[in-house]
């Protein structure tokens, strides 16, 4: 059961803002009297509360304000075994970017939750879901440049990937740093890096990148979260291989797809 949807602090991107009064998720705090009436009428035993704040919380204070509401709400429920505070911790997407001070947050939420448990009269399990925070910076998408195309106003670098592999920049204007690992010391120029799908699939517009040549490999950063998990076979394109690097050694953990993978689940129909 979700008893509250907290405030969202994510730089104004309403596509990843889910903790507000008009969200499709959960139950608004303003509906708590109705929830308590249902519990009283049915004898429902509530063992956990969960909040879903969305993504990109810059400051611990914002999360703690939401947590305070959930902790106060918890006093209405007498059989709680756990409380799930979700996630939404901010990771840096470029140099100098803001990120959640997880050390400060951890200290402050621990102190507050321990105090809550004493007031509540029992130990309650504290749960978080820090998926993006753990894996975002751990992954990169490597793409090869097929063409460098100058136009009167823009210098394009076209690559052998697209929104079928990394949809975040097109889906909700997410920023991903792009670097040229084939020519890292080249003279910087302004490029718009685009994919091979026959619609707008821009990875980054007007980016300062070391000189790009055909055949160069570009690294798109922060691809550890919501990259492969949101990938598709759109336009009958194959999903890429995945390689895990551990202690200096590389391990292939997912094969590159083939045409057989695309056709595997198709069924031949006999109309005779």
Residue 235 neighbours by CB under 8 Å, 6+ apart: 162, 164, 197, 198
Is the predicted pLDDT of residue 7 greater than 60, yes or no?
A: no
pLDDT at 234: 96
pLDDT at 122: 96
Instruction: List the chain domain ranges.
Output: 29-130, 139-238
Residues 19 and 3 sit within 8 Å (Cβ to Cβ): no
pLDDT band of residue 14 (cuts 50, 70, 90) is: low
- The architecture (CATH level 2) of 29-130 comes to Alpha-Beta Barrel (3.20)
Query: Which member of 2, 117, 198, 227 is catalytic?
Result: 198
Is the predicted pLDDT of residue 8 greater than 50, yes or no?
A: no
Instruction: Give the integer Cα–Cα distance in Å for 158 and 212.
Output: 10
In whole numbers, what is the pLDDT of the chain averaged over residues? Answer: 89
Give the up-direction half-sphere exposure of residue 132: CA atoms within 13 A in the CB hemisphere. 18
pLDDT band of residue 54 (cuts 50, 70, 90) is: low
DSSP code of residue 76: T
What's the angle, vertex CA 189, arms to CA 187 and CA 190, rounded to 5? 165
Q: How is 118-178 classified by DSSP, letter by letter?
A: HHHTS--EEE---HHHHHGGG--EEEEEEEEEE-SS-EEEEES--TTT--HHHHH-----E
What pLDDT digit, counting tens, does each position of 87-99 carry? 888 899 988 888 8
What pLDDT digit, counting tens, does each position of 120-150 carry? 999 999 999 998 899 999 999 999 999 999 9
pLDDT band of residue 38 (cuts 50, 70, 90) is: very high
Q: Which fold has domain 139-238?
A: Lyase, Ornithine Decarboxylase; Chain A, domain 1 (2.40.37)
198 among known catalytic residues? yes
């Amino acid at each position: 059961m979700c008893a509250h949807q907290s405030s969202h602090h994510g730089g104004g991107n309403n596509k990843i803002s889910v903790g507000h009064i008009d969200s499709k998720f959960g139950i608004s705090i303003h509906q708590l009297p109705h929830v308590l009436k249902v519990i009283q009428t049915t004898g429902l035993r509530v063992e956990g509360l969960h909040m879903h704040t969305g993504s990109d919380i810059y400051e611990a204070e914002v999360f703690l304000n939401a947590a305070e509401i959930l902790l106060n709400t918890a006093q209405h429920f007498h059989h709680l075994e756990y409380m799930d505070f979700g996630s939404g911790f901010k990771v840096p997407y470029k140099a100098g970017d803001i990120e959640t001070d997880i050390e400060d947050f951890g200290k402050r939420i621990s102190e507050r939750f321990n105090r809550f448990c004493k007031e509540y009269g029992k130990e309650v399990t504290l749960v978080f879901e820090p998926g993006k925070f753990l894996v975002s910076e751990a992954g990169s998408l490597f793409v090869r440049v097929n063409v460098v195309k100058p136009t009167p106003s823009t210098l394009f670098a076209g690559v052998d990937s697209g929104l079928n592999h990394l949809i975040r920049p097109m889906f909700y204007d997410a920023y991903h740093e792009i670097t040229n690992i084939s020519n890292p010391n080249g003279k910087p120029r302004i490029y718009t890096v685009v994919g091979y799908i026959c619609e707008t699939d821009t990875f980054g517009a007007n980016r300062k990148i070391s000189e790009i040549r055909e055949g160069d490999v570009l690294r798109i950063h922060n691809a550890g979260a919501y990259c492969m998990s949101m990938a598709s076979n759109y336009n009958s394109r194959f999903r890429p291989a995945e390689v895990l690097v551990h202690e200096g050694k590389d391990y292939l953990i997912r094969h590159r797809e083939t045409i057989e993978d695309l056709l595997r689940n198709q069924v031949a129909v006999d109309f005779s």
